[in-house]
């Protein structure tokens, strides 16, 4: 059997994000195979491990855990520069018609760009939720990011929905459930701990109670996370009240999609009663402050934390700089609280790493730099314009670093980004395929919908 590859990162400022909040100056991390084997002062580790297979001199850099994004629609990067100004989730006018014309190949090419951008920006774990998420499996495996993968299911008759008729198709209900079960089996064939199957319902409007209950059973039978958009605005409240005489959260709870295995996405429209129910159900929240702030809404992050509800950060779609998501979380929380000291830099750093890992049930494996954990690590170059001088590493990183400052990314001890270049995929091809697919799909979209 081959010896495991060893890698030493040295001479760095290390934000461990462990429970002691340890910060090491001139620190080192020793990685053996996929795991972190040692963390400590650089001079000591250099003596202890004199001949690693690879050595990274991280002088002038900050080393921290890779970011964890708890909500992603990679293929929705197609809406970059298109849907930022047109209000909340433009489902009937944009998402539904686009879903009917985008090919699997086009979605794959566009989503591959999104996933590439996330890795380039220090994100090491994502939770993908999308209609044809299976088109990303191969690329996700190839680039090496850790990912929960879930088919975003719907059983609404979208043809009738165009005329504002809400009707569910029982044939679709059954096929969406079996599609999910088959996809779980496919993911398992990869036998990779970086590809994790999960279950997803889009939202109450597009999913019948039968579908929600069916998905809930699949998730609990297989011990998987389930995710659903909920608490997403007035239309959802009106719809669920009209058809079921309940609030969206009560509806989700009654249909088995509001419990401790569920990641509830957005939750920006939440009453005090909803908050109590969420806490009781032990549901986790995917907070996506950047995209939601552009849509004029924001979740009650501080109230969730006060209630002991687990919260993680999600990039969602068409944005990809996770540092911006962190800063949005801070600014939105401060605006909401009317208090400039709400959510300080270190709390935001925890939210982006260990707290997000908790939401996905992966905190024993990732989310901090600790001995025995997977080596999911990013190295950020702090020696350039915009980020120096580094007087306080935590505040400087959180408030000033950008995804373009990330130099190196490791997932499971494997280097996925080195000197700001992806190591496992052809960056030029990813860019050109995404650009040509985007051009083609929008041309067809405009021809059909003009
Ligand atoms: Zn979403």
CA of 193 to the centre of ligand 1 (A): 24
Average pLDDT value for residue range 299-306:
94
3 state DSSP class of 225:
coil
Number of CB atoms found within 10 A of residue 209's CB: 17
First CA to last CA distance, the chain: 62
Q: Are residues 299 and 414 in the same domain?
A: no
Determine what percent of the chain is predicted with pLDDT higher than 70: 99
In the reported structure, the alpha carbon of residue 62 is separated from the centroid of ligand 1 by a whole-number distance in angstroms of 31
What's the gap in Å between 288 CA and the centre of ligand 1? 9
Condensed to tens digits (0 to 9), the pLDDT of residues 308-321 reads 999 999 999 889 99
CATH number for the domain spanning 89: value is 3.20.20.140
Q: pLDDT band for 2, please (50, 70, 90 cuts).
A: low
pLDDT at position 1 over 80: no
Q: Are 261 and 309 within one domain?
A: yes
Cβ-based burial of 147 (10 A; exposed 0-12, middle 13-18, buried ≥19): buried
Cα 311 to middle of ligand 1, angstroms: 15
Residue ranges of alpha helices (H) inside 223-340 are 234-244, 248-254, 272-281, 289-294, 301-306, 322-337
Q: Is residue 1 part of a domain?
A: no
Q: Global pTM?
A: 0.97
Task: Specify the pLDDT at position 159.
Answer: 83
Ligand 1 centroid to 265 CA: how many Å? 7
How many angstroms does the Cα of residue 37 sit away from the middle of ligand 1? 36
Mean local confidence (pLDDT), 161-177: 91
Is residue 355 within 8 A of residue 15, CB to CB? The reply is no
Answer whether residue 46 shows pLDDT above 80.
yes
Residue 89: predicted pLDDT: 66
* pLDDT computed for residue 97 by the predictor: 86
**What is the average per-residue pLDDT within 170-192?**
97
| 281 or 83, which is more confident | 281
CA 226 / ligand 1 centre spacing (Å): 13
- Compute the distance from residue 65 Cα to the ligand 1 centre, in Å: 24
Quickly state the pLDDT bin for 80 (edges 50, 70, 90).
Answer: very high
CA distance 330 to 344: 7
- Final residue of a domain: which of 359, 382, 399? 359
- Counting Cβ atoms within 10 Å, is residue 404 exposed (0-12), middle (13-18) or buried (19+)? middle
Residue 256 predicted with pLDDT over 60: yes
CA of 202 to the centre of ligand 1 (A): 8
**Of the candidates 406, 436, 402, 401, the residue with the CA atom closest to the CA atom of residue 421:** 406
Residue 210 has pLDDT above 80, yes or no: yes
Q: What is the pLDDT of residue 90?
A: 64
SS3 content of the chain, % helix, strand, coil (to 5): 45, 25, 35
Per-residue pLDDT, averaged over 109-115, amounts to 98
Q: Cβ distance 32 to 4 under 8 Å? A: yes
* Residue 390 in domain: yes
User: Is 391 contained in some domain?
Assistant: yes
Shared-domain flag, residues 21 and 143: no
**Is residue 303 a part of any domain in this protein?**
yes
In angstroms, what is the span from residue 264 Cα to ligand 1's centroid? Answer: 10
The CATH code of the domain that includes 39 is 2.30.40.10
- Distance (angstroms) between ligand 1 centre and the Cα of 206 equals 13
User: Per-residue pLDDT averaged across 130-140, rounded?
Assistant: 97
Residue whose structure tokens are 């929905």: 161
Same domain, 303 and 391: no
Average pLDDT of the residues in 185-209: 97
Separation CA 114–CA 292 (nearest Å): 18
* Domain count of the fold of the chain: 2
Please indicate, yes or no, if residue 448 is contained in any of the structural domains. Answer: no
User: 158 pLDDT band (50/70/90 cuts)?
Assistant: confident
pLDDT tens for each residue of 20-45: 999 999 999 999 999 999 999 999 99
Are residues 31 and 113 located together in one domain of the fold? no
CA of 97 to the centre of ligand 1 (A): 17
Q: 317 CA distance to ligand 1 centroid (A)?
A: 7
Measured in Å, residue 7 CA sits from the centre of ligand 1 at: 37
Looking at residue 12, its pLDDT comes to 98
The H or E element containing residue 46 is: helix 42-48
Which among 185, 179, 248, 241 is positioned nearest to 214, based on CA atoms? 179
Are the C-beta atoms of 409 and 143 separated by less than 8 Å? no
430 near 392, Cβ under 8 Å? no
Q: Can you point out the beta strands (E) in 42-118? A: 54-57, 61-65, 67-72
How many whole angstroms from 286 Cα to the centroid of ligand 1? 9
**Predicted local confidence at residue 86, as pLDDT:** 82
216 in the same domain as 95: yes
What's the CA gap between 382 and 389, in Å, rounded? Answer: 8
Is the per-residue pLDDT at 92 higher than 80?
A: no
**pLDDT given for residue 286 in this prediction:** 98
Mean pLDDT for the stretch of residues 75-89: 88
Q: Judge if 61 and 71 occupy the same domain.
A: no
Binned at pLDDT 50, 70 and 90, residue 279 comes out as very high
Distances (CA, A) of 64 to 28, 33, 36, 46, 410: 11, 18, 13, 19, 11
315-357: pLDDT as tens digits: 998 899 999 999 999 999 999 999 999 999 999 999 999 999 9
Q: Is 446 contained in some domain?
A: no
Q: What is the mean pLDDT of residues 295-312?
A: 95
Other residues' Cβ atoms within 10 Å of the Cβ of residue 94: 17
Distance of CA 245 from the midpoint of ligand 1 (Å): 25
Q: How far is the CA of 26 from the centre of ligand 1 (A)?
A: 40
Pairing status of strand 262-266 against strand 226-230:
parallel
Domain boundary among 332, 359, 386: 359
Q: How far is the CA of 56 from the centre of ligand 1 (A)?
A: 37
Is the four-CA dihedral 176, 179, 185, 189 of positive or negative sign?
A: negative
Instruction: Report CA(315)–ligand 1 centroid distance (Å).
Output: 9
Q: Are residues 253 and 353 in the same domain?
A: yes
User: Among the three residues 359, 382, 398, which one is the final residue of a domain in this structure?
Assistant: 359
Any idea how long the chain is?
Answer: 450
User: Is residue 94 domain-shared with residue 104, that is, in the same domain?
Assistant: yes
Average pLDDT of span 88-98: 78
Mean residue pLDDT across the chain: 96
Range of the domain at 37: 6-65+369-419
Question: 301 alpha carbon to ligand 1 midpoint, in Å?
Answer: 17
The answer to whether residue 444 is domain-embedded is no
For CA atoms 391, 394, 395, 400, the dihedral sign is: positive
Nearest to 11, CA basis, from 67, 49, 62: 62
**In a shared domain, residues 294 and 397:** no
Question: Is 441 among the domain residues?
Answer: no
What does the block give as tokens for 101?
Answer: 């014309």
Confidence category of residue 96, pLDDT binned at 50, 70, 90: confident
- Residue 81 and residue 59 share a domain: no
CA distance 414 to 436: 31
Mean pLDDT of 358-366: 98
Residues 195 and 137 in one domain: yes
Distance 421 CA to ligand 1 centre (A): 28
Of residues 235 and 419, the one with the higher pLDDT is 419
Can you give the pLDDT at residue 34?
A: 98
On the question of pLDDT at 409 being above 90, the answer is yes
Q: What is the pLDDT of residues 217-231, one digit of tens each?
A: 999 999 999 999 999
CA–centroid distance, 148 to ligand 1, in Å, is: 14
């Amino acid at each position: 059997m081959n010896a495991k590859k060893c890698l030493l990162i040295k001479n760095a400022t290390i934000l461990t994000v462990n429970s002691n909040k340890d910060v090491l100056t001139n620190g080192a991390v020793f990685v053996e195979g996929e795991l972190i084997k040692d963390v400590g002062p650089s001079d000591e580790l250099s003596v202890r491990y004199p001949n690693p297979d690879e050595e990274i001199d991280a002088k002038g850099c900050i080393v921290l855990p890779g970011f964890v994004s708890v909500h992603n629609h990679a293929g929705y990067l197609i809406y970059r520069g298109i849907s930022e100004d047109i209000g909340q989730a433009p489902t009937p006018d944009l998402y539904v018609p686009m879903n009917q014309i985008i090919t699997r190949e086009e979605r794959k090419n566009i989503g591959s760009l999104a996933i590439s951008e996330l890795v380039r920006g220090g994100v090491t774990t994502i939770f993908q939720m999308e209609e044809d998420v299976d088109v990303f499996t191969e690329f996700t495996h190839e680039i090496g990011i850790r990912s929960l993968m879930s088919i975003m299911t719907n059983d609404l008759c979208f043809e009738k929905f165009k005329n504002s008729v809400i009707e569910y198709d029982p044939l679709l209900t059954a096929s969406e459930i079996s599609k999910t079960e088959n996809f779980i089996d496919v993911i398992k064939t990869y036998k990779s701990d970086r590809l994790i199957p999960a279950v997803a319902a889009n939202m109450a409007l597009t999913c019948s109670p039968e579908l929600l209950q069916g998905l809930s059973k699949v998730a609990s039978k297989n011990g998987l996370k389930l995710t659903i958009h909920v608490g997403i605005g007035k239309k959802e409240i009106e719809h669920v009240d009209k058809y079921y005489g309940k609030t969206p959260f009560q509806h989700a709870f009654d249909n088995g999609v509001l419990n401790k295995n569920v990641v509830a996405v957005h939750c920006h429209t939440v009453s005090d009663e909803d908050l109590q129910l969420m806490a009781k159900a032990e549901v986790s929240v995917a907070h996506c402050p950047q995209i939601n702030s552009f849509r004029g809404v924001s979740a009650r992050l501080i109230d969730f934390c006060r209630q002991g509800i687990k919260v993680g950060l999600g990039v969602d779609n068409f944005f990809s700089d996770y540092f911006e998501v962190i800063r949005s979380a801070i600014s939105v929380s401060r605006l909401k609280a009317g208090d400039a000291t709400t959510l300080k830099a270190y709390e935001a750093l925890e939210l982006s790493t260990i707290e997000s890992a908790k939401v996905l049930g992966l905190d024993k494996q990732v989310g901090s730099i600790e001995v025995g954990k997977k080596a999911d690590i990013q190295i950020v170059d702090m020696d350039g314009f915009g980020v120096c001088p580094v007087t306080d590493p935590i505040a400087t990183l959180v408030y000033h670093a950008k995804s373009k400052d990330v130099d190196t990314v490791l997932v499971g001890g494997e280097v996925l980004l080195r000197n700001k270049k992806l190591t496992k995929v052809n960056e030029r091809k990813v860019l050109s395929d995404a650009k040509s697919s985007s051009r083609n799909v929008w041309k067809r979209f405009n021809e059909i919908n003009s």
